[in-house]
Each structure stands twice: as structure tokens, then as C-alpha cells.
Copies of this chain bind each other. A is one copy, B any other.
Amino acid sequence: MTDAVFDLPVRPADIEAAARTLAAYVVRTPLLSSPTLDADLGARVLFKPEVLQRTGSFKFRGAFNKTSAIPAAARAGGVVAFSSGNHAQGVAAAARLLDMPAVIVMPSDAPCSKRQRTESYGAKVVLYDRDREDREAIARAIAAGRGATLVPPYDDPAIIAGQGTVGLEIAEQMQARGLSPDVVVAPASGGGLVAGIATAIRSRFPDASIMSAEPEGFDDHARSLRAGRREPHRAEGRTICDALMASIPGELTFAINQRLLAGGVTVSDAEVGQAVGFAFRELKLVVEPGGAVGLAALLAGRFEVRGKTIVIVLSGGNVDADMFAHLIA
């Protein structure tokens, strides 16, 4: 299994190259711990707070890695992306740093803060109706009209390699402390983050168990990992985890995750709300619902923790003040 990571669509060397591309722009987020939580659980829990990342989520990493690879001749056309919010901000911020125009296609029900923040980076936002319109078709039409490059949210080797730098940092930070992760849990929507993390971590810690975390109902990764093939989720409603509503794992991401992941855990919206409140009270971190699913799974006892070293990725912190106030009340 040690060699498994070396013949996949994204290799550890690609992630190391992404880390070099990102070095001057990314926030190297720390590994944080809570001695009180560790004592309560009888475990060593390390948090990777990508809420502290530029734009408030890990998405900047993949977006910058992909955007910076656009050839000079194609840069004037700028970039286009479709996103419920965090990828939008990542692409907008990357484009501004690289002095390129950006158009973002965003659902009309995305959190207000995510839309405002996307516009604050200088991007043009085009809204669509999540239930009636095809965001990919809209984005492709805009890209064709402007000569722009589409920056996909997850199913792309450069995106996965960029998100994988989260895992590379975790691995380096663990090695610097003489620690080995037993379990690493990361949120999954399209699966790019957890695929990149799994590739980076298992190249250095082949025995680590990497797990995806999803909201109940929106459990396409858990289902697909069990079935051994890509399966859509069956949810018809909404979840408070607006960042984790992709309907099916990506093709590339699932090719990786199927090989490297130990499985998927799911949590209810109520458990996610409790995790957001715990992060407020005990960790003093602002974590958005979709960024808190791994923490929710930890607190809800979804996997064995006693005596283990566990890494929980807190993937984003872009949450509206009213939603946050509601969840911490």
C-alpha cells in the first residue's frame, strides 16, 4: 500500500511542486491542540485550521495553483468559476494576485458573506438558480464568450495538488514534532481536499487512516466508498453545510479516494451545529458548518479515538453572522 500513492493521477511530487508555487502567497496554517479536549477524549487531537487561510478556506490553495499555471498568452481572458462560495473566493483572490479578471457563477442562495467577499476581491459575480439552472453550462458559455479559462472546483489535477498542500503541511508539522497520525478526517464535497490530503499524508505515513466527512443525506463519498463506484447522494433538501452539497464524487478525486481512503463518516446538521458551538467556546475559532463536519464526527464518537493521534481538518470559516449567532446560542 505504500506505493499506492505513486501511480495515481496526482503524485506526491505534484503536491510538493504546488507547495513551491504557493509558498509566497499561502498562509502556512498551524496545527492547534486543546489540552482539555485531549484529556476528555484520552486522545491527541490536532486541528488544521484552514479557516486561517487566505480567503478563509483551503480553496485558495487549489485555485492559486491552477490559475498560476495558465499560460501567459491566455491570461488576458481571465478566469471563470462556478462555486457555492469558498472556491469563488479562492479563484477571485488568486486572479487578483495574478492580475487577471475573474467572473464567478454563484447560486442565488449562497451565504451573503461569501458573495460580498468574492466581490471584494474584484471578481464579477453572476447569480443562478440552484434548482433550475445548470451552473456549468452558464460558466462554460461565459468562458467561451470571454476567452477565459474555467477553473474547476475539484476534478482537476492542479486543483487536487493545490489542496494536497494542506496534507503536506500536516505531514511536515507532524514529522517536526515526532508524531504520526493514526486518523485524519477532512470534509468532502467534490472530494478534492481529501484526495490531495490522502496522497500527501500516505506518501509519508502509509499506515494513516484517512476519512471523508459529510453531512447526513449528502453522503455520496461514504456511499461510493462502500459501493466501490461513484454514487450520487439521495438528499432532496438542504443542509446547513452549504459548502458540501456536490451531488457525486469527482471522477479523478474518486479514483484517488477509492484507493487511499479508509472510509467516510457522516453527521447530522444538529451535530454540525454543536461542533460549530464547540469551536466557538473551546477552540475560539470561527468554523463554518461545512468546515466543522470532521470535528462533529469526532465529538459525536463516529470513530475510535482513545489512545490515538487524530488530525481534524477545519476547512473553512466563511459563515454569515446571523447563522453563526444561531448556532452558538
Contact = CB atoms under 8 A, between A and B. Distances in A.
A13 interface: no
Nearest to A291: B284
A317 interface: yes
Q: How many copies does the complex hold?
A: 2
A51 interface: yes
Interface in A264-294: 277, 280-281, 283-287
A54 interface: yes
Interface in A284-329: 284-287, 317, 321-322, 324-325, 328-329
A9 interface: no
Interface residues of A, number: 28
A277 B320 CA distance: 11
Nearest to A328: B321
A306 to B, nearest CB: 21
A54 B27 contact: no
A36 B51 contact: no
B328 A324 contact: yes
A42 interface: no
Interface string A45-85: 00001011010100000000000000000000000000000
Closest 3 CB pairs of A and B: A325-B325, A284-B317, A30-B30
Interface of A: 25, 27, 30, 32-33, 35-36, 49, 51-52, 54, 56, 113, 277, 280-281, 283-287, 317, 321-322, 324-325, 328-329
11 contacts: A27-B35, A35-B54, A36-B54, A52-B284, A56-B284, A284-B286, A284-B317, A321-B328, A321-B329, A322-B329, A324-B328
